[in-house]
Amino acid sequence: MTMIETHGLCKAFGDHLVLDSIDLDVARATIFALLGPNGAGKTTTVQILSTLLRADGGEARVAGHDLAREPGAVRAAIGVTGQFSAVDTLLTGEENLLLMADLHHLDRREGRRRATELLERFELVEAASKTPATYSGGMRRRLDLAMTLVGDPRLIFLDEPTTGLDPRSRHMMWQLIRDLVAGGVTILLTTQYLEEADQLADRIAVLDRGKLVAQGTPDELKRRIPGGHISLRFADAQGLAAAAHALGQGARDDNELTLQVPTDSSVRSLRAVLDRLDDESIAVNGVSIHTPDLDDVFFALTEHPTTQKGSVR
C-alpha cells in the first residue's frame, strides 16, 4: 500500500519556484529519504505533505487521504518532527508528553502510561521533571520524537532528524527510526547526509533546486556515482609515470605526484590495483581511499557542486 503519492507538486514563494513538479511514491512500512543540500526544497516538501503549507499545484494523497480536501484526516494519521525542535520549552519533558496525550484525547491513566513508556524507551527518565532548557541537543531531539509518537502515527515526517547531533546521538536516533519501521510505521526523512540515507532508507530521492534529479534504492544510486576512487602517491615522477602507464587510467597530478584511480571502493578492486603495481615493481608511497559523499552525488547528477547554499528553505 502507498502511504504518500504525489503528482506534479509545485510551490513558489513569490516568483521563486521552490518545488518544481515533484512526483513521489512512498510504500508502507518503508523509509524514504529526501536527499539534498540546503535550499533544495526538502523542508518545503515536508511542510506541504504535513499540511503546514498549501501546494500551488499538483495532487497528493497522504495516508490514503487527499491532502487538499481532507487535511484533518491527514493530520490524524501523521506525526512530524521538524528540523527545529517542536517542544514546549516552559514545560518539563514529562509535561510535554502529557500535553500530547491530552491533545490526542487519551484518558488520564492511558496518557500517563504512554508518557512513562516513552520516557524509558527514549532514555529520558532522569530528565523527565526538567525543562528542555537543560537538555543536550540529542535529548531534545529524542523528546521531540517521543512527543510525535504519543499519538501512534502511521506515517512520520522527520526533517533532518540528526543534523547537529554527535555521533552517539546520531546512532541512537538511527536505531529508534529502524525500530519504528519494524513496527509498521512509514517514515519520510530528509537529510543532507548520503551516509544517513544509505544507512536507513529503502528508497532515496535526490532533490536539487526544487527538482527531483534521481530516485532509487541506495545501491541503484551509488552505482550511478563515479565518485569513488583510490588516490596513490609516489616518491617521484618516474614512479607516477610508470603507474599511470601500467594502470592505463586515472587522473594524474604531476605536482602532487598523485594518481586518482576510479573504483567501486571494494577491497577486491583495491587489491587488484596494488597487485598490478606490484607486478610492475612500482613503489607506492601512500594510498588513500575516497568513498562517494553527497558532493559526488550532486556533481554526478547535476554537474554542479553543493557548495552554493540556498537561502530558501
Partner 1 sequence: MSTVSSALRDSATMLRRDIRHSLRNLSVTLSGLLVPIIVLLLFFYVFGGAIGAGLGGVAPSFAYIDYLAPGIIIFTVGSGCATTALNLCMDLSEGIITRFRTMAIFRASVLTGQVLGSLIRTLISVGLIIGVALLMGFRPTATPIAWIEALGLIALFTLAITWMGVVFGLVGKTPAGANSLSLIFQLLAFTSSALVSPDSMPATVRWFAEYQPFTPVIDTLRGLLLGTPISGNSVVLAVAWCIGLILVGYFWARAVYNRDPVK
List residues near partner 1 by CB under 8 A.
13, 50-54, 72-73, 75-76, 78-80, 82, 84-91, 95, 99, 102-105, 131, 147-148, 151, 313
> Looking at beta carbons only, is 147 or 187 nearer to partner 1?
147
- Residue 45 to residue 38: CA distance in whole angstroms: 13
CB 148, min distance to partner 1, A: 8
> Looking at beta carbons only, is 152 or 220 nearer to partner 1?
152
299-308, long-range: CB within 8 Å, 24+ apart, which pairs?
A: 299/227, 300/224, 300/225, 300/226, 300/227, 301/206, 301/208, 301/213, 301/214, 301/224, 301/225, 302/208, 302/213, 306/37, 308/37, 308/39
> Looking at beta carbons only, is 50 or 263 nearer to partner 1?
50
> Looking at beta carbons only, is 91 or 284 nearer to partner 1?
91
How many Cα neighbours within 13 Å face the side chain of 37? 18
CB 45, min distance to partner 1, A: 14
- Residue 75 to residue 62: CA distance in whole angstroms: 9
> Looking at beta carbons only, is 17 or 73 nearer to partner 1?
73
CB 187, min distance to partner 1, A: 15
* Cα 265 versus chain centre, distance: 22
CB 108, min distance to partner 1, A: 12
CB 15, min distance to partner 1, A: 14
Distances in Å between the Cα of 84 and the Cα atoms of 90, 141, 158 are: 16, 9, 11
